[in-house]
A and B are shown apart, each in its own frame.
Chain A
Amino acid sequence: MQTVKMVVTGPFNAGKTEFIRSVSEINVVSTERKISTAAERVKETTTVAMDFGRITVDEDLVLYLFGTPGQKRFDFMWEILSEGMLGFVVMVDSTRPETFREARSILETFRAYAPTPYVVAANKQDLESAWEVDDMRIALRLDSRVKLIRCIAADKESVKTVLLELLYSILAEMEELQS
């Protein structure tokens, strides 16, 4: 049995767990804990180690999706999780510009760990206060070549689009290396 993995990363409360939950065929193995600090109490629980989802491709290939903990104090997990990944998704909460800088920093950190292809998912685009992706591209200082995709983590089709875009990027890079 061959296994490959993709990592879903991003700041606290960006929607990583929800993203994996939408496409995983197993109940996401989530290591969530009740939030203790008042500053981070915008939701009830947070991921403290990692989320873990699975998609069986065929009888001898399985794709694992790993979600990183969003809080900075768990960033020691990032390098471990990035080891051997096929590519990664950076989830950004489109409604919380105060997290954009951290998202950019997480992106840079993961690029330093492994120069694999990646895409940025602008999550919560269904909310009224969501930033436009073009504005987010400027705020996140993303090059025009970087894929910034509208996303609603709770919507399976939206999550599929993000994952497919990442796979297309991986394929394109392989073809580029081949030529």
Chain B
Amino acid sequence: MALKGNLRDFTVTQLLNLISLAHKTGSLVVEGPDEAVLVYFREGKLAYAQNGQEDNSLATILFKSKKLSATQHQIIKQRAGNISDKELGLLLINASYLTQQDILSSLQTYFTGVINHLFTWADGLFSFENDVTPPPDKITVRVSLENLIMEGTRRLREWEHLQDEIPSLEMALKFIDRPGVNLRNVNLSVEEWKVVSYINPRNTMRQIARANKMNDMEIRKIVYGLLQAGLVEIIRPEGAPAITPVSRQPTQSGSQEEQVSLINRLIRRIRSL
């Protein structure tokens, strides 16, 4: 029987711990609200991982880890056709272009990245199927889970902290009026500048993240830095449906004058207590 549940009740840390301690072999599928992750384990060790529909071919992973240039990546994609990852790996090693270690370390970095990403999920349905192994044409690794769990727990704490500080990405950002502080004199990274360029009371943080192809963690980290530096503040986005306080009241819907009168009655009453 498959091991199934929700990350709300059984966290990624607990799940990996179980797989590691029980030396499990099989596949783990986790379905979050917007994406899914597929991970294979062999005898309690990480063997292979895939992030949703993302292109995780060896050529693309090597390109992302800067082992292949953009041109080389494009040529392989165009000319190599349906060549499997194992065949491509052998070709690159035989051509003395890359070593086996280059390939394995690139894959390991990619797979652990998928697991680290998984640690930021608080919600998602998971299902572990025993004895399911990765597709035979894929290159697998053997990574112990202990260090991943330690690193993941650290990231989880960081993620929880960021979520506490910035609970909703549906809010917008606004520069704080600080005379004497010129943004041009502040040292920002490229990623921070990308976010800064979109700061506008109309843009929610989620929209800024999408425009910059950033995930929730990345945008929260940058916004947190800008908040701490006192450069921005979080505001309700312009154009969002304005909800006036009294119109939200369940029991009355009077005119503006009536509402003002109601507040004045409350004020008089509280004063007389």
Contact = CB atoms under 8 A, between A and B. Distances in A.
B191 interface: no
Interface in A145-162: 156, 160
A156 B267 CA distance: 15
B164 A101 contact: yes
Interface residues of B, number: 34
Interface string B246-264: 1011111000100110111
A108 B234 contact: yes
A61 interface: yes
A112 B167 contact: yes
Contacts, number: 101
Interface in A100-131: 101-102, 104-105, 108-109, 111-112, 114-117
Given A55-B273, A112-B170, A174-B256, A167 B263 contact: yes
B250 A84 contact: yes
Interface in A163-178: 163-164, 167-168, 170-171, 173-175, 177-178
B270 interface: yes
B270 A55 contact: yes
Contacts of B252: 2, 4
A57 B265 contact: yes
Given A102-B164, A105-B165, A112-B171, A174 B263 contact: yes
Interface string B224-242: 0001000001101000001
B233 A174 contact: no
B191 to A, nearest CB: 23
Contact of A57 (B165, B167, B245, B269): B269
B167 A167 contact: no
A25 to B, nearest CB: 9
B248 A4 contact: no
B232 to A, nearest CB: 11
Interface in A120-144: 141, 143
B243 A3 contact: no
B255 to A, nearest CB: 11
Given A63-B266, A160-B271, A114 B167 contact: no
A89 interface: no
A57 B269 CA distance: 6
A175 B256 CA distance: 9
A97 to B, nearest CB: 15
B263 A23 contact: no
Contact of A164 (B164, B243, B260, B267): B267
B167 A86 contact: no
A4 B249 CA distance: 7
B20 to A, nearest CB: 28
A174 B259 contact: yes
A112 B167 CA distance: 8
B270 A160 contact: yes
A115 B273 contact: no
Contacts of B212: none
Given A85-B245, A116-B248, 12 more contacts: A4-B262, A61-B262, A61-B265, A86-B245, A86-B249, A114-B248, A116-B245, A117-B245, A160-B271, A164-B271, A171-B263, A174-B246
20 contacts: A4-B251, A4-B266, A5-B249, A57-B265, A86-B246, A102-B164, A104-B165, A108-B166, A108-B234, A109-B167, A109-B168, A112-B170, A116-B243, A116-B248, A117-B245, A141-B227, A143-B233, A170-B263, A173-B245, A175-B260
